[in-house]
Amino acid sequence: MTRYADLVERHGTPAYVYDLNRVEAARDDLFAALPEEFELFSAVKANPHPEVIRALRQGGNRACRAEISSTGELDAALSAGFDPGECLYTGPGKTDGELDEAIAKGVRMFSVESLTDLQHIGAVALRLGVVAQALLRINSASASATTSIRMTGAPSQFGIDSETLVEQIPLLRAVEGTEIVGAHFFPLSNARDEDALIGEFQHTIAQAARTFHDIGLDEPRFLDIGGGFSVPYAVPGERPVYGRLREALSQTLDEHFPRWREGFPKVACESGRYLVGDSGTLLAGVVNIKESRGRKFVILDAGINTFGGMSGLGRLLPVAVSPDTAGASPESVESWEKSSLVGPLCTPGDVLGRSVALPPLEAGDVIEIPNAGAYGPTSSLLMFLGRPAPVEIVVRGDEVVSVSRIEHHRTYA
């Protein structure tokens, strides 16, 4: 049931296969959907595999920058060839030790979540004799989209509440070792469609213009308007291509920032799942099949320790996982039996999907879970029960680029 039978035979399951051709196609499609002047950050958290993020960086004039949230992600970005000066360091819990390491290695741009966050950044920058560039992350009081995954408009550890920003500006500007150069917005994730995405970006750009006016930042140098680009997650489906986004963004920016084409401000978007989601396939082996009180359970060697995360949802598990139906006739798919797809762990929470339509299976079979390139091993309960991490196989079409596995070792002080 898998086109990767030769890889399964050589490397076993569970295994992820990432196709770099798909990574590069997603990068090129997203750049094509954005105005030419835009920069694009790749959210390393979505898939920090060095080969994957290296492919996103190697794009000539349209290469991605890196958005990182830890020194571990910084190391992954540096190993993939990213310049530390081109990285954006984000996150609400930046420790002094992390800031010390990041700034010493050359990171200069930080998304700032609060006055005290900026003070921590400034203290380290001052000690190291540099100036850190600050993007004020704004937690807007209002938003455009009413669906999708909201990332703003509520009490949050993320961002400075927009209604308090003006009164905080004198204190923010007084922080030594830092320079406020712009703003960072991230109002939603996984927009339901292109209209919702456009509407949110238009709302964000208008609010950014008002924000810069209100705080007296006459010539902001940088504006990150966030993301929201969608891709199917662990179910069959095609990655969307946004045909109207470029013109809509250009028109809105022309209205609110007449000099944006000259770089005042430089405008950026960011993306995680869109860039890497459809590049990945999870190969899971069927260990056992059982029935319990009228329900069938297909037990896999891949559970929530292998594929357990869905960033931004506030949930541990994906909503549903469905295997790839490529090659199966519609008539045969209609006759597939509904089963629960579960993993091997000793917890009733190890469920990848309920009432999943599956073909006749038996122990030893392998199923493919498509669109699994984002939020896979590193967003899962990787160490739970001490089971080995899945193999990660990077390919370019039919060529195998690398085979690796994450290993954990205890180190004693």
Give the residue from 310, 366, 275, 284 showing the smallest Cα distance to 20: 275
pLDDT of residue 309: 57
CA distance 177 to 184: 19
Banded model confidence at residue 150, pLDDT cuts 50, 70, 90: very low
Mean pLDDT of 331-356: 87
Q: Are strands 222-224 and 266-271 parallel, antiparallel or unpaired?
A: parallel
CB-count exposure of residue 236 (10 Å: 0-12, 13-18, 19+) = middle
pLDDT of residue 176: 98
Mean pLDDT of 78-96: 95
Banded model confidence at residue 142, pLDDT cuts 50, 70, 90: low
Mean pLDDT of 223-239: 92
CA distance 215 to 353: 48
CATH number corresponding to 34-271: 3.20.20.10
Residue 254, classed as helix, strand or coil, is helix
Give the residue from 372, 377, 380 showing the smallest Cα distance to 405: 377
DSSP secondary structure string, 175-214?
Answer: -TTEEEEEEE---EES-SSHHHHHHHHHHHHHHHHHHHHH
**For 33-51, what is each residue's pLDDT tens digit?**
999 999 999 999 999 999 9
**Is a pLDDT exceeding 60 seen at residue 144?**
no
CA distance 309 to 324: 19
| Residue bearing tokens 């260990």 | 287
**Is a pLDDT exceeding 50 seen at residue 315?**
no
CA distance 373 to 395: 13
Mean pLDDT of 246-252: 98
The boundaries of every CATH 2.40.37.10 domain in the chain are 5-15+278-405
The boundaries of every CATH 3.20.20.10 domain in the chain are 34-271
Give the residue from 17, 46, 51, 6 showing the smallest Cα distance to 30: 46
Structure tokens at 242: 């946004």
CA distance 289 to 291: 7
pLDDT of residue 331: 74
- Mean pLDDT over each residue of the chain, to the nearest integer: 90
Give the residue from 384, 385, 286 showing the smallest Cα distance to 340: 286
**What's the CATH architecture for 5-15+278-405?**
Beta Barrel (2.40)
CA distance 145 to 125: 37
**For 101-119, what is each residue's pLDDT tens digit?**
999 999 999 999 999 999 9
Mean pLDDT of 269-294: 96
| Residue bearing tokens 């504006």 | 223
Give the residue from 9, 24, 13, 23 showing the smallest Cα distance to 282: 13
Q: What are phi and psi of 169, to 5 degrees?
A: -55, -45
Mean pLDDT of 394-403: 96
For 60-153, where are the E strands, in sequence order? 65-68, 87-89, 109-112, 132-139, 149-150
pLDDT of residue 164: 86
| Residue bearing tokens 């180190």 | 411
> Cis omega before residue 359 (within 30°)?
no
pLDDT of residue 146: 46
Model confidence, pTM: 0.91
Query: Quick check: 397 and 42 in contact, CB under 8 A?
Result: no
